[in-house]
């Protein structure tokens, strides 16, 4: 257990950020899953809307540090590739 006041403060802060980041990552996974389902249904309009929201959530999570920026970019790229495949 921490003995210094600053160490105790850091533990509390880390725990709060952990809860926030976990919720944000869960939210990202939900939107990505919705986008994949929309793409697999071959409904172009719904898929584009779902892709836009998933992309936005991923960018925000990457900006906040909940998800690595390269991982977010990779997921967006793969979603985009699948979306373009149904559009063609």
Residue 88 has pLDDT above 80, yes or no: no
Q: How confident is the model at residue 2 (pLDDT cuts 50, 70, 90)?
A: confident
Question: What secondary structure, in 3-state letters, does the chain show?
Answer: CCCCHHHHHHHHHHHHHHHHHHHHHHHHHHHHHHHHHHHHCCCHHHHHHHHHHHHHHHHHHHHHCCCCHHHHHHHHHHHHHHHHHHHC
What average pLDDT is seen over the chain? 95
- Mean pLDDT, residues 68-78 taken together: 97
* Domain 5-87 CATH class label: mainly alpha
Domain coordinates of the chain in residue numbers? 5-87
């Amino acid at each position: 257990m921490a003995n210094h006041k600053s160490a105790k403060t850091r533990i509390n802060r880390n725990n709060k950020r952990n809860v926030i980041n976990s919720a944000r990552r869960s939210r990202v996974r939900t939107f990505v899953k919705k986008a994949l389902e929309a793409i697999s249904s071959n409904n172009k309009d719904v898929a584009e809307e779902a892709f836009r929201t998933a992309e936005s959530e991923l960018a925000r999570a990457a900006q906040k540090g909940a998800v690595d920026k390269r991982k977010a970019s990779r997921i967006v790229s793969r979603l985009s590739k699948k979306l373009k495949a149904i559009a063609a």
